[in-house]
């Protein structure tokens, strides 16, 4: 039996104190991250510099002693490796050359070519596997196909994913071909992360909540199941966390339907609901509202205790319902951790 608490929870063990890590735990709320990013020059340069990417991954582990480190990278590195140009506009986020026609899908680079671009990411994993404390689990990740496709189609993030929905509804063959290409590449990308040393992988479907009914089943559930099945066939022991954010009722049965070992839950559903409807099937991760990392105080303590209490009868990894925001106070992160570990 491993002594890594996250791996134990992912195997279904109910622990007296839940293991804890935080989405975007390496990020702009930390002064040491801001200093390292300034040294790198820009965000993409930081992602592709193995030494600096490993450094920012390690920073929250040194500061807080989280039970897991998550590889510092970005979900858009994979589509960039397929050929479309990617850049970041200061204050506005990512911009990407769009992929909206069958010709453009067919012109994407072959899947095996992605490793030419992504090799620095695998080197970051190797550095981390060597340098992390022995009790700390290393998590790798990728974006799920629907979420990645929304950026590839629109060329940027959006609140309603309208461009992706339009392509899905008006040119299904092109849309399906793009989803298939992303899924195929994601398997290879995550498989290489696993071979380099990650111990868990997570699929972030940040925009899954905008898919409804059959579309959710076709473009959130099915591609995730396909990726997980392929990874498990190559790496039978790798635990996989799936995060179909804002799935609502779609969370129910998602672990069984996809083969995921754990379902991460956002904070649009209550922990009691998630315990009753999702945790009954296995491990859940979540789901403290990220705004508590900004506001802190007794409300943070009470909300943290509420989440931990709601999930205490089943396997649980304590986390936020989404990523920590840049304006968060580092002291509030420590207060959250102290509250979880105090029981």
Cite the active site residues.
24, 28, 37, 74, 151
In the chain, count H helices and then E strands.
17, 9
Task: Indicate left, alpha or beta for 97 from its phi (over 0: left) and psi (-120 to 50: alpha).
Answer: beta
Closest by Cα among 333, 339, 298 to 31 = 333
Are 207 and 156 spatial neighbours (Cβ–Cβ below 8 Å)?
A: no
Q: Which runs of consecutive H residues, i.e. helices, occur in 41-171?
A: 43-47, 50-64, 77-81, 102-106, 114-131, 145-154, 162-170
Retrieve residue 12's tokens: 């279904």
Phi first, then psi: give them for residue 21, nearest 5 degrees.
-150, 180
Q: Is 184 exposed, middle or buried (0-12, 13-18, 19+ CB in 10 A)?
A: middle
Please count the other Cβ atoms lying within 10 Å of the Cβ belonging to residue 2. Answer: 13
């Amino acid at each position: 039996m491993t002594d890594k608490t996250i791996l134990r929870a992912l195997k279904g063990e109910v622990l007296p104190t839940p293991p804890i890590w935080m989405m975007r735990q390496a990020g702009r709320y930390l002064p040491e991250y801001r200093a390292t990013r300034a040294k790198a020059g820009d965000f993409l340069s930081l992602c592709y510099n193995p030494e600096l990417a490993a450094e920012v991954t390690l920073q929250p582990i040194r500061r807080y002693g989280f039970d897991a480190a998550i590889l510092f990278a970005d979900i858009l590195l994979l589509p960039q490796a397929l050929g479309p140009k990617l850049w970041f506009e200061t204050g506005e986020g990512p911009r990407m050359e769009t992929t909206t026609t069958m010709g453009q899908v067919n012109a994407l680079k072959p899947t095996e070519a992605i490793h030419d671009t992504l090799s620095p990411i695998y080197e970051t994993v190797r550095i981390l596997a060597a340098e992390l404390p022995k009790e700390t689990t290393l998590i790798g990740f990728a974006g799920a196909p629907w979420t990645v496709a929304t950026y590839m189609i629109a060329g940027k993030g959006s609140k309603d994913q309208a461009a992706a929905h339009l392509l899905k509804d008006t040119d299904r063959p092109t849309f399906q071909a793009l989803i298939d290409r992303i899924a195929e590449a994601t398997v290879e990308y995550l498989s290489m992360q696993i071979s380099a040393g990650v111990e868990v992988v997570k699929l972030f479907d940040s925009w899954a909540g905008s898919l409804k009914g059959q579309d959710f089943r076709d473009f959130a559930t099915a591609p995730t199941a396909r990726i997980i099945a392929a990874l498990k066939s190559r790496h039978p022991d790798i635990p996989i966390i799936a995060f179909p954010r804002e799935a609502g009722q779609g969370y129910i049965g998602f672990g069984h339907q996809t083969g995921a070992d754990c379902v991460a839950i956002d904070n649009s559903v209550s922990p009691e609901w998630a315990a009753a409807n999702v945790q009954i099937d296995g491990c859940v991760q979540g789901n403290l509202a990220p705004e508590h990392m900004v506001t802190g105080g007794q409300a943070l303590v009470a909300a943290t205790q509420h989440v931990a209490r709601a999930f205490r009868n089943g396997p649980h990894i304590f986390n936020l319902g989404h990523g920590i925001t840049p304006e968060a106070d580092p002291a509030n992160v420590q207060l959250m951790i102290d509250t979880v570990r105090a029981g």
